Amino acid sequence: MRTSARLALLPLAVAALLGTAAGPATASTTVVLDSGHVDVIGIAFEGGELDIHVHDETNDIEYAPSDVKIVAKSAARTTVPDDAAYSFLGTAGSPVWVLPQVEDPALLWPGIATEEVEPGVFVNDALSLKVEYVYGPAGFSIFTTDAFGAPTVLVDSQNGLPDTIGLTAANHQHANWAFEAAGNYAVVVRVSGVLAATGKKVTSAPALYRFKVNA
């Protein structure tokens, strides 16, 4: 199911978030990140709450997701491999824009970081990152590739959401972030974990990300 068609199914709280944060923003309030090492999803646990933020590692600055626009430059454009394992990206040979798992100095290098979560706080040091909604002109996915180029799909908006990525506290990882068409995307995520001390599940507020993919 195309996730862009799920707008009517949004919970009111997320719809409100989308209305306030995903709409047009002025240049004076939006930080554009299009290169360098960026933890697009940075996770911290402070004051008994899970927090999601964007950490510009290159300049060591943190931002609220709603204050940032992540840009995939036109140089991120490539084509879907002629390999059935990559069919989740679309038809072989069709265009796809990828922010890569391996650093490319010309592009933004997206990470997911839990380094601000101390070991031992959550049961088995486990956290769950849930990608709840994706809106855009085409599919969005997150996947890793091994040394032989074989993909492991972590998120695929085209086969139904939510999708969940398992994370470990005090860790850092990179993956490929793929967009199947140029244009604007909005992605809503939450993170949760079970506190080791109390057995209570803690869930963050929804965080909305905006992406611009240049043709």
pLDDT, tens digit (0-9, with 9 covering 90-100), for 143-191: 999 999 999 999 999 999 999 999 999 999 999 999 999 999 999 999 9
> Where residue 29 falls among pLDDT bands split at 50, 70, 90?
confident
* pLDDT for position 16: 52
* pLDDT for position 205: 97
Higher pLDDT: 172 or 1? It is 172
**Percent of the residues in the chain that have a pLDDT greater than 70, as a whole number:** 87
pTM listed for this prediction? 0.89
pLDDT greater than 70 at residue 108:
yes
pLDDT greater than 60 at residue 68:
yes
Kindly report the number of other CB atoms within 10 A of residue 100's CB atom: 18
Higher pLDDT: 63 or 22? It is 63
Run of H or E residues at 156? strand 151-156
Q: Which residues pair with 186 in a beta bridge?
A: 135, 210
Run of H or E residues at 16? helix 12-21
* pLDDT for position 28: 55
Domain boundaries, the chain: 3-24+34-213
**Closest-CA residue to 108 (of 162, 180, 165, 31):** 31
